[in-house]
Chains A and B, each alone.
Chain A
């Protein structure tokens, strides 16, 4: 049998394209099929429980209409799901159509929320996935993790208190602690805050914060708050943001005794031969990164000096405790410093 090479070429290319369509990560048919498979009635029910739990924490009322979008079903199907949940004793519906959790429903919801936040924490600390993927991945994993697995995960992570967004992780007994930080709009003029988290969910707001160069770990003084604008200041910089935008910045107040100089300089800005003292790590420097830095002896209080610039400017080598250690810009951006004079 003889085939023209052009035909063979076309067949080969065709097979490659087919394989690509099948196996392409996240968009291929196989992963789409897996997504579809995940959308069972139990997952939908668990999503409803989670939504109710969050809404009740914010003292918001929920009706069947609110839930339609959330579970991606029409009103009639949603109502049918809710009725089934009511007969299972998970929720209560009153005459106005307001839905609330029963005790049983509440503890079920807490279990799911705990699994979700623990998974987010795990993905943030122990994997290389980016921030926007933690939530999506945890959203799937929470439904397939047994309570025993959840507890094993918590033990492995050292029973963390907060998820990577600073939201408290409910304990096994269902205790929910205070959140780590509040919106930057909730502080008074003159207070000093440290940014713990920047909400990325609304792109146009996030890009404004990004343009101002505000990142987790920065210390800022509130200079002015009004309905029109909020003014922040650091040592040598001023940022002005609209309140809607500023509300996406989550921050904690800084105790008065911890306020030294509001230095927001990072290790990456240090030039050859210059010395500095490490003052803190950004909260986004977490998990394996943070542990590695500490293993290398880079901690708050440590003296560092730039000894060597890479041929392309990155990485840079730093002299830490008599040892030269090269770090990339991504990591040295997360280490806040205070310049010191002369040799260490």
Chain B
């Protein structure tokens, strides 16, 4: 027994001393020989064809990545995809709105009246929950159903990795990965989808940067706000309608570009402060080009997106609808809760160049940014007591541009309010779907909190400073 033990100890001691002799490269040497063996076998049994495809690939690569043609093609494609999404989504959006909001909603109300449903139950269920859900679906579904299939087609074709390759030098300067160009572009469709897409970034630090900064890409739920506000307040300053629409599109583009600037700035900041110690490694595979499978892509992404949008509408917009209706119908001391909250938020809102209505709308619209504008309109009617506009307390509605402008001016909006709303639309907390997705992707409370609060703090600060400088220049004093 004793003998055996001492033997074992001898062996262990010898193993320990041999370790120093072998050094640390054992694993690598093993791996090298495995690769060598495998490569040898592959060489013997695999034959390569397709010289023609190689020539084709090379010329496409040259076209897509050369300095002369690479960037124009890239920007033209992005602009084309965005244009197709925005103009193409208008038709199905208004059709969905007509069906869900103008036809089904009154029918539901009539049905509720017919079975003598109590008014408050009908209010919460139909005016609140159904309305918010229907709204989110009609605003969100069409752009998603156009934007993402187009994106998937580009990806299937093999073009997207070349974009990441082209953009890498730029993103490297701020400590990020070239693939962030892709996750950012997807963010223009939907931030939650953009954050899921960050999985393609295989370096831990760069992936976190891409996740945290994705919110600076204005998602399609926020586009309506940008378009409406810049067309009423910025484009409206110019007398000719043609010039006006040019100015307002320019404003939207400027906000988007500001978002890109913030992406780079915050990426740089993060990579040099909070994320400095995270591991970082760069590699990018450039797969060969393949003809995309058009119909299959169209079908699967349409189904995927529809399911996704419906899930989001039901999980997040449904409760938000109930909250909106309850806030504007439950009264306390003769005033609705919404009015109380707005009065309470208003001094702070005015301080940062916004107002209480906007702040409350953004709090209610945390689950879905699509309903910011209808909520703002409804709350403005509620506080100003404008007669003859809207569909009742807690029921969201939309107006023509002229009527919206009149209502907002009546609500005390100025050019400063509009500019700050544009800024706040870019810089505020991500919607709850996005926050939830960040949590699912990182499983880290710290990074989720940072991603949720960093844009909000930046937005509040930006609005505050813009408001003070604006007032200083305008010579006014805060009321």
A interface residues with partner B (beta carbon < 8 Å): 2-6, 8-9, 12, 16, 25, 123, 126-129, 158, 160-162, 168, 171, 173, 175, 177-178, 180, 287-290, 292-294, 296-297, 299-302, 307-308, 310-315, 317, 321-328, 330-331
Contacts of B20 in A (CB 8 A): 161, 168, 177-178
A162 to B465, CA, bound (A): 53
Contacts of A294 in B (CB 8 A): 28, 31
B477 touches A297 (CB 8 A): no
Near A by CB (< 8 A), chain B positions 188-210 give 202, 205
Contacts of A290 in B (CB 8 A): 28
B31 touches A127 (CB 8 A): no
A288 to B279, CA, bound (A): 8
A129 and B276 in contact, given A161-B19, A331-B282 (Cβ under 8 angstroms):
yes
B472 in contact (CB, < 8 A): yes
B48 touches A322 (CB 8 A): yes
**Closest CB of chain B to A153's CB: distance in Å?**
16
B286 touches A308 (CB 8 A): yes
A99 to B277, CA, bound (A): 38
Which of B168, B281, B472 has a CB less than 8 Å from the CB of A5?
B472
B468 touches A5 (CB 8 A): yes
A69 to B415, CA, bound (A): 64
Task: List 25 interface pairs A-B (beta carbons < 8 Å), by A numbering.
Answer: A2-B479, A9-B468, A9-B472, A12-B464, A126-B279, A127-B279, A128-B279, A294-B28, A299-B32, A300-B32, A308-B61, A308-B65, A310-B168, A311-B65, A311-B169, A312-B169, A313-B169, A315-B168, A317-B286, A324-B287, A326-B284, A328-B168, A331-B281, A331-B282, A331-B283
B166 in contact (CB, < 8 A): yes
Near A by CB (< 8 A), chain B positions 1-55 give 16, 19-20, 23-24, 27-28, 31-32, 35-36, 39, 48
A310 and B65 in contact, given A161-B20, A315-B165, A324-B285 (Cβ under 8 angstroms):
yes
A161 touches B32 (CB 8 A): no
A12 touches B16 (CB 8 A): no
How many B residues touch A, CB cutoff 8 Å? Answer: 56
A8 and B282 in contact, given A299-B32, A311-B169 (Cβ under 8 angstroms):
no
B479 touches A310 (CB 8 A): no
B469 in contact (CB, < 8 A): yes
B293 in contact (CB, < 8 A): no
B70 in contact (CB, < 8 A): yes
A47 to B34, CA, bound (A): 45
Chain A, Cβ-Cβ closest to B27? A158
Contacts of A3 in B (CB 8 A): 477-478
Which of A127, A129, A180, A311 has a CB less than 8 Å from the CB of B70?
A311
B168 touches A326 (CB 8 A): yes
A315 and B284 in contact, given A161-B23, A321-B39, A328-B172 (Cβ under 8 angstroms):
yes
Contacts of A127 in B (CB 8 A): 277-279
**Closest CB of chain A to B377's CB: distance in Å?**
29
Contacts of A177 in B (CB 8 A): 20
A296 touches B283 (CB 8 A): yes
A325 touches B464 (CB 8 A): no
Given A162-B24, A310-B65, 17 more pairs with CB closer than 8 A: A2-B477, A4-B477, A8-B468, A25-B274, A128-B280, A129-B276, A168-B20, A180-B23, A288-B279, A294-B28, A299-B28, A308-B61, A315-B165, A323-B285, A326-B286, A328-B172, A331-B281
Contacts of A129 in B (CB 8 A): 276-277
A311 touches B478 (CB 8 A): no
**Closest CB of chain B to A278's CB: distance in Å?**
10
A325 touches B285 (CB 8 A): yes
B205 touches A292 (CB 8 A): no
**Closest CB of chain B to A65's CB: distance in Å?**
36
A293 to B280, CA, bound (A): 13
Chain B, Cβ-Cβ closest to A176? B20
